């Protein structure tokens, strides 16, 4: 399973949406109605799944799923 697929599965579970609805261009807040708590939960799950530390300033740059994928790929 590649990075995008793992992140997509995590998002689908956390936000109770179908994985097929999630693309690299999906905006996490606008397209899925996620709030800041959902984003924090996602970051905690990413830190566990990929054994990476996500600094607070990086979280602010997570707008699309692609942003998250690129961060994880750059830091693992």
> 46 and 10 in contact (C-beta within 8 Å)?
yes
Per DSSP, the chain holds a count of helices (H) and strands (E) of 5, 0
Active-site residue, 35 included = yes
Pick the catalytic residue from 2, 16, 25, 35.
35
> Which residues are CB-contacts of 17 (< 8 A; sequence separation ≥ 6)?
11, 32
CA angle 14, 50, 24 (to 5 degrees): 60
Q: Please list the active-site residues.
A: 35
């Amino acid at each position: 399973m590649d990075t995008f697929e793992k992140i997509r599965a995590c998002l689908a579970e956390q936000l109770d949406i179908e994985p097929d609805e999630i693309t690299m261009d999906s905006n996490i807040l606008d397209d899925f109605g996620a709030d800041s708590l959902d984003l924090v939960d996602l970051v905690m799950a990413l830190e566990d799944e990929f054994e990476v530390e996500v600094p607070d300033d990086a979280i602010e740059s997570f707008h699309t799923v692609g942003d998250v994928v690129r961060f994880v790929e750059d830091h693992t």
